[in-house]
Amino acid sequence: MVRTKIFIPPIKIQGIKSKLIPLIQASIVLKPDTLWIEPFMGSGVVGLNVAPKNAIFADLNPHIINFYSSLKNGTINSNIVYAFLKENSGIFSKKGIEHYYYIRERFNESHDPLDFLILNRSCFNGMIRFNKSGKYNVPYGHKPDRFSKAYITKIVNQVKHFEYMIKFNNWIFVCQSYEDIISQADSNAFVYCDPPYIGRHVDYYDSWDESHEQKLKECLISCEARFMLSTWDNNQYRVNPYINKIWSGCEKITKEHFYFIGAKENNRNTMVEALLTNYGIPVSSTVTVDSYEQIRLSV
């Protein structure tokens, strides 16, 4: 069943798939006992809305995993988040950028999940970026009333919903490579992959190139599970050549989408997204789809 309400997680990620959730939900094949495996967790928005009973969420970014693991083990909770944001709200209103860089320096020393959350919600353009030394280096966002009462309530409610899902489902969060996680997938698993978009500017904890894309394909086609992969198909300037070059033998469904990730308004253009699978996509008639095709190409 496709949910009508889209739940947004507390961690912001550029390129979040919230607007594609209905299409993804309508296109996946899950049984009640299916193990959902998500090797590129990011914000966790897809798994949060698919809401599988059993899931393994993985990411190479240890700070994302640490935040959600801390929610799972009770180190932090919605009440703690509320108190932390409320306390820092007053300091931000007085010191602004000075307080942001104080927290950023503290986070780069201690890696506290609460500091990670507040940096994520007050940095420039919702970016998560680290330098070669592993230090968080995104500048301040410079927005007035950074942590207003309404904004704090919004974040805390997002944390509460994630808490609820963790409590009533068997969800595991691990900092591991996609190779290691996909190797655990058997015929009872469903693997959803949202890797960095090859051939485009990406904001990710590690680099991504053609060799990674090819390796990911090899991992997926060698496992016994059904899989779905999100990628870009085309925009007004060019077509993704790697769909034909690498992802042979997949079925594809596309939908036009708009991302708010450019720093300048005229750089924020539409993109046609693609979902690639190793099974026939059972798309619901209630979901608007731009195109659906079966790709049969020689390797």
pLDDT digits (tens, 9 = 90+) for 127-152: 899 998 999 999 999 887 789 999 99
Q: Which amino acid is at 99?
A: H
Cα 49 from Cα 144, distance rounded (Å): 31
Is residue 299 predicted with pLDDT exceeding 50? no
Cα 66 from Cα 64, distance rounded (Å): 5
Which pLDDT does position 288 carry in this prediction? 63
Residue partners of 160: CB distance under 8 A and separation at least 6: 78
Cα 257 from Cα 254, distance rounded (Å): 9
Higher pLDDT, 15 or 3: 15
| CA torsion, ordered 93, 98, 104, 107, to nearest 10 deg | -80
Q: Which two tokens stand for residue 150?
A: 């309404």
**CB-based contact 174:40 (threshold 8 Å):** no
Coil, helix or strand at residue 273: strand
Range of 2-6, 101-105, 139-143, 252-256 with top mean pLDDT: 101-105
Over residues 71-110, the pLDDT tens digits come to 999 999 999 999 999 999 999 999 999 999 999 999 999 9
- Helix 113-120 and helix 62-73, axial crossing angle in degrees, nearest 10: 120
What domains are defined for the chain?
18-60+176-294 (3.40.50.150), 77-155 (1.10.1020.10)
**CB-based contact 182:40 (threshold 8 Å):** no
Cα 114 from Cα 131, distance rounded (Å): 20
Cα 257 from Cα 97, distance rounded (Å): 33
